[in-house]
Structure 1
Amino acid sequence: MNARGGRGAQPPPEDTSSPYFLHPSDNPGVIFVPRQLIGSNYTTWSRSFTIALLAKNKLVFVDGSIPWPNREDLLYQPWISCNSMAIAWLRNSVSSQICSSIMYLDDAYEIWSDLKERFSIGDSARLYQLRQQLVSLSQGNSDVSSYFTNLRIVWDEFKNSQPISWCTCARCTCHSAARWHQHQENDCTMQILISLNPEFSQSRSHILSITPLPSLSKVFALVIQEERQRHIEGNQSTPPVPSEQPFANATSNYGRCLSNFLCTHCGRTNHGVDRCFYLHDFPPGFGREKNKPSNATGSGGSGFSGGRSEFQNHNNTDQ
């Protein structure tokens, strides 16, 4: 099969690897990207739409790899079907205002080129905004993961606005693209380290001492490791010893409550009505008589009298 639409055998419809194959789920109403093109978001929109077309194996109809074939070509009708499908997907992925400006273009490649020419990276004001965001961005109160994500979003858009490489070779043999990509990665790494909070100075010094400079993913792993270590050490600190003051206060209050007991029967303190000897009788041998041998006659009266007198004297002394 001629990849550019020349004469040749028509690919079978069941050949899923062919760019002319249309899956039953492919229909003009499919929306590829979550956010439509409004103009200022062209860089992120084109990236998302390109990935979606690659997944459908239809990017060749948008980037001009398969131009419009002749009517006599066996692939003319399959090409028309795939091109029309790509046009419908493009129209669904742009705002209504932009859609009206491409309504009468019948070639997906022409539409793609027109959008790129109008909204692509030639916007100097947008480049200025991205650079300003990178300079002013700092970690602040954000955790490392949130800070890294926010910086990477801005940096990726800024990086995609730069040339892919400065190579002028017909077939690159100087590896200019690889070196340019590495330079951009190192630049982003430096920006991340500069914007980190001072508490990560140890990780920053360690990363800068590594030759060559580690990748962005490795830098992120090293910094997030230190952040987690700090969190663990904070949780393992010695808990404060509970104060004994509440117990002392409780003991003091308990003694104060005992001294404030007032018998409602005899009017004396230090005992309640349920333990009043005057009401419930004195125990045997109470007071001075408790060590004397009991008499056969009147021992109970003597004991009660002595006990009662001793109890009265004791309470009077307390008062």
Structure 2
Amino acid sequence: MANDLHVMSLLCNAMEPKVYEIFAFANSAKEMWDSLYEMYGNSNNSSRIFEIQQKLVTLNQEPEQPVMEHFGKMKQLWEELRLHRPPAATVNEYLKREEQDRVFRFLASLTPEFEETRRDILMRPELPSLNTVYAILQSEETRKKVMGRDRKVNNSLNNSENFAHFSSRTGDNTKWNKGKDKKGNRPYCDHCNRSGHTKDKCWLLYPHLKPTRNMPNEANLTTKSEDSHVQLRLEQMTKQLEFLMKTCATNAEPSFAGPGGETSNAVKHIESSVSGPNFREED
């Protein structure tokens, strides 16, 4: 019993405080040791080995960082890598380590689309061989291509269905837009190539749709215009006649009448200009 407690104290003193909290209530040294071995004694921790190697490859000295600090980080990674991968005791173990390094290098060179497959390979209890890893990645690549084609086909079908649904709901708007001109502002006729109406309302194809004008109203307007024009001319001629009569009266009274009481030619000319056919034809 005393020896067991002594071994437990040695193990607890060798642990970090956060790790010690996990095993603080172990009942015996064997129970603590078995738990430690299951959790941290896996010598084939491929994912952690891969992570350490990647850090060593990408680790660079930062600006204004002392060389001592940079070297300390690299040495810490080297020691941790040696902890997970102690020196090979046999030739077969050395060849196995060399195979693992090739697998790690091959996985590190893959594109991000194989991240999930790479994680699954590294999380296996035993790291597969290089040929097995290649076969797994080849199958995954084929699966992605097939799934990509199926996804494109499904997207095309969904787009077609959405377009058909949208067209069925906006059928009236489509008809209206079809009859618009190039600018989309006014209706446009494809038959007579004129704007202002659509083909289904074109007068050339459907003469009965042409509206009839209100002829009596236009006739009344024309008559009123002609009457006002004649009235104006009559007023002008009346003023001219009065002016001529006054002029003739001031010159000589006999000049307006000839022998036998006939009216002079000047007066007849004035009367004919007012009521004669020439005046009517001019108006």
More helix by share: 2
Taking structure 1 as the reference length, the TM-score comes to 0.26
Structure having the higher Rg: 2
Asked which structure has the greater RCO (Cα within 8 Å, sep 6+), the reply is 1
